[in-house]
């Protein structure tokens, strides 16, 4: 597999007046990946995406992408008074790489009426039109800021399915920000966690899942165990604790149990501990 990064940031930072919105951000997104950018409000996600597509210039560091990039901003930016047909025509006139046959086929397959004004479409349909605009530019990298915001679960599923089909057809690389973890699990294969303007995690989701375990056992043994493995997050009572640790399967005492973590647990553990970081790649089986 060729792992040439489509997007690469090195020491990237952005300051708005005196306040840093993003700091010391280094990541590399390999070709053909569908990457989820997650983090709490104000973490710097939009800032990173705007830097990635050149809408902002860095205050420090560098970011570069190879090939053509398309960007879908937050809130599905469509002209509400334009019909679907006019929206596609606008896309064609503005974009030299526009694939008009693809755009019309996609809209027809989705059952979107060409004569409907964008403003009269449902949120899910508007998201599909916006996604069509991005995909029909035939970019190498598609960057989407909160494409699932305000959509119901069915519409979210349909949008993600459309993205996955485009990735399968074209080998497109996708970077999307979202707050909806449940929609990312089945579709994304790369994870970037931003917290307080810093990248905490950036890596292959399967590797990250394989590199973390949830260890549960008596609180009195926890400190000794924490010296053997890197603990990302610790929770529990005075008697029993759960440690979300960066480790592969490890031998444990009889009073301990361990199990794999899911993506949501992993992300939440890092978000709860802004000082924990798994960079640049997770270290597997560090115990």
Ligand X SMILES: Nc1ncnc2c1ncn2[C@@H]1O[C@H](COP(=O)(O)OP(=O)(O)OP(=O)(O)O)[C@@H](O)[C@H]1O
**Contact flag: residue 42 with ligand X (CB under 6 A):** yes
Cβ at position 279, least distance to ligand X in Å: 18
Distance CA 237, CA 249 (A): 24
Distance CA 176, CA 155 (A): 16
**Contact flag: residue 52 with ligand X (CB under 6 A):** no
Q: Which residues of 104-115 are buried (b: 16+ CB within 10 A; e: fewer)?
A: bebbeebebeee
Joined tokens for residue 280 = 């640049």
Cβ at position 21, least distance to ligand X in Å: 3
Which one of the spans 34-42, 155-163, 262-270, 279-287 is the region binding ligand X (CB under 6 A)?
34-42
In this complex, which beta carbon is closest to ligand X, that of residue 29 or of residue 166? Answer: 29
Which one of the spans 42-50, 200-208, 236-244, 276-284 is the region binding ligand X (CB under 6 A)?
42-50
**Contact flag: residue 41 with ligand X (CB under 6 A):** yes
- Which value, to the nearest 10 degrees, does the dihedral of the CA atoms of residues 138, 280, 74, 187 take? 60
**Contact flag: residue 45 with ligand X (CB under 6 A):** yes
**Contact flag: residue 202 with ligand X (CB under 6 A):** no
Which one of the spans 38-46, 76-84, 112-120, 204-212 is the region binding ligand X (CB under 6 A)?
38-46
Distance CA 236, CA 217 (A): 10
Strand pairing report for 240-246 and 198-204: unpaired
Report the residue from 13, 32, 44, 139 that binds ligand X according to the rule CB under 6 A. Answer: 44
Distance CA 240, CA 35 (A): 35
Distance CA 74, CA 89 (A): 22
**Contact flag: residue 21 with ligand X (CB under 6 A):** yes
Cβ at position 167, least distance to ligand X in Å: 23
**Contact flag: residue 199 with ligand X (CB under 6 A):** no
**Contact flag: residue 201 with ligand X (CB under 6 A):** no
**Contact flag: residue 132 with ligand X (CB under 6 A):** no
Measured CA to CA in angstroms, residue 24 lies from 113, 159, 283 at distances of: 46, 32, 20
**Contact flag: residue 43 with ligand X (CB under 6 A):** yes
Which one of the spans 26-34, 40-48, 111-119, 211-219 is the region binding ligand X (CB under 6 A)?
40-48
Which one of the spans 39-47, 89-97, 166-174, 274-282 is the region binding ligand X (CB under 6 A)?
39-47
**Contact flag: residue 195 with ligand X (CB under 6 A):** no
Alpha helix ranges (H) inside 81-175: 84-94, 100-109, 123-136, 153-170
Distance CA 218, CA 85 (A): 64
Q: Which residues bind ligand X (CB under 6 A)?
A: 16, 21, 39, 41-47
């Amino acid at each position: 597999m060729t792992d040439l990064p489509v997007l690469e940031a090195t020491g990237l930072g952005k300051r708005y007046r005196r306040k840093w919105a993003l700091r010391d951000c280094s990541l590399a997104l390999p070709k053909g990946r569908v990457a989820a950018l997650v983090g709490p409000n104000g973490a710097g996600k939009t800032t990173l995406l705007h830097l990635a597509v050149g809408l902002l210039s860095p205050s420090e560091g560098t970011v570069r992408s190879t090939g053509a990039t398309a960007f879908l901003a937050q809130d599905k930016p469509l002209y509400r008074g334009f019909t679907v047909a006019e929206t596609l025509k606008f896309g064609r006139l503005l974009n030299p790489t526009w694939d008009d046959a693809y755009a019309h086929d996609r809209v027809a397959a989705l059952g979107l009426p060409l004569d409907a004004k964008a403003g009269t479409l449902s949120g899910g349909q508007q998201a599909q039109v916006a996604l069509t605009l991005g995909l029909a530019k035939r970019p190498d990298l598609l960057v989407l800021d909160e494409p699932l915001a305000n959509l119901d679960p069915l519409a979210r599923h349909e949008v993600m399915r459309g993205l996955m089909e485009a990735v399968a057809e074209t080998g497109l690389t996708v970077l999307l920000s979202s707050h909806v973890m449940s929609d990312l699990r089945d579709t994304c294969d790369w994870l970037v966690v931003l917290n307080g303007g810093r990248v905490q995690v950036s890596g292959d989701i399967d590797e990250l899942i394989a590199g973390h375990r949830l260890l549960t056992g008596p609180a009195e043994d926890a400190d000794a165990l924490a010296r053997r493995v890197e603990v990302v997050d610790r929770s529990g009572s005075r008697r029993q604790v759960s440690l979300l640790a960066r480790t592969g399967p490890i031998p444990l005492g009889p009073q301990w149990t361990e199990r794999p973590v899911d993506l949501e647990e992993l992300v939440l553990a890092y978000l709860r501990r802004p000082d924990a970081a798994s960079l640049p790649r997770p270290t597997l089986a560090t115990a």
